Structure 1
Amino acid sequence: MPYRHTQPGTTILAVCTAIGVVGAVIAWRITGQQATLIAMLIVLTGFYIVFHSLTVEVEGREVRWYFGPGLWTYRLGLGEIRSVSVVRNQWQNGFGIRKAPGLTLYNVSGLDAVELKLKSGEIRRIGTDDPNGLAAALNAAMRRLQA
């Protein structure tokens, strides 16, 4: 049975709104430049459209995840995964797509995530508000492949 879950990006929305309000005050009151305000709001709206949610799907022989409307999709074969665990990110890890040596984080809100340790030694962390459900779906799909 396939797994599909979409997490809304409430943190991304809050950050975009805060930046928009502060930026609007600065652009309007201090600089008086309407063009700057409009450009900033267009950029923030675009950012929010792209990162307003994170959808994760486990089906067949792969796990897929994408932000917002799915302008690009990340795919990973289940056979590439060595282990799956539920983890909690630190707030300073941030949101969106974050890369560090050997680690890539995909997150739109909250601190919960599922960590995929790959056979290559790399780590992928997928943020989710359903970490136990996602981990269970991944483990079940991986067991089916081994059977």
Structure 2
Amino acid sequence: MNHFKETQQGGIIGISLFILIALVIIGYVFKDDVEGLSDRWFYLFVLSLLFVFAMFSDFKTVIVDNKILLKYGIGLLKKEIDVSRISSVKVVRNKWYYGWGIRYYGRGWMWNYKGFEAVELQFKDRKSTFRIGSGKAEELKECLNTLLSEG
């Protein structure tokens, strides 16, 4: 049974990559035959940027069958967390300098796409925490607390 689903799109990561791709294409179109710049390198560079854009185009958080499923973009970066391993859940606000994306923030790992609201998971089997960035942090916390009380 699907308990929670959120898809975040259009964060600073996606917007920045889109602007970068547009600027590179505009620069290439209006270049004045720069020596040493071959078409092959330009196409390789644009394809690389498009790949990164596809990797981080959105961020999905789904809770199904007592598992938290996290996935960036096309799914090459994904994580599965068994709810039974969680001891507590709380809503937190990330500091601005924690940034966005997948990163270690000092007390554990964080997967965040945009904004500053997150749900912090404390595990039964380790001291480190795990933060999930969410536009629906309170709803995500309530869903997880319901599953924890049932299990």
Normalising by the smaller structure, the TM-score range is: 0.7 to 0.9
Show CA shifts across 1:86-106 (max 9, x none): 112122222221124541111
Distance verdict in 2 for CA 1:102–1:6, change over 3 Å: same
Higher helix share: 1
- Asked if structure 1 preserves the Cα contact closer than 8 Å seen for 2:18 and 2:53, the reply is no
Which residue is equivalent to 2:21? 20
Which residue is equivalent to 2:138? 132
Instruction: Provide the secondary structure at the position in 2 that maps to 1:116.
Output: strand
- Are positions 1:64 and 2:108 aligned together? no
Specify the structure having the higher radius of gyration (Cα): 2
Which residue is equivalent to 1:81? 86
After TM superposition, the score normalised by the length of structure 2 is 0.81
| AA partner of residue 17 (structure 2) | C
Gaps of 5+ in 2: none
- Asked if structure 2 preserves the Cα contact closer than 8 Å seen for 1:9 and 1:51, the reply is no
User: Of 38, 49, 54, which residue of structure 1 is paired with 2:54?
Assistant: 49
Please tell me the root mean square deviation across aligned C-alpha atoms, in Å.
2.3
Which residue is equivalent to 1:90? 95
- Asked if structure 1 preserves the Cα contact closer than 8 Å seen for 2:55 and 2:77, the reply is no
After TM superposition, the score normalised by the length of structure 1 is 0.83
| AA partner of residue 18 (structure 1) | I
Gaps of 5+ in 1: none
Q: Identity of aligned pairs, percent?
A: 24
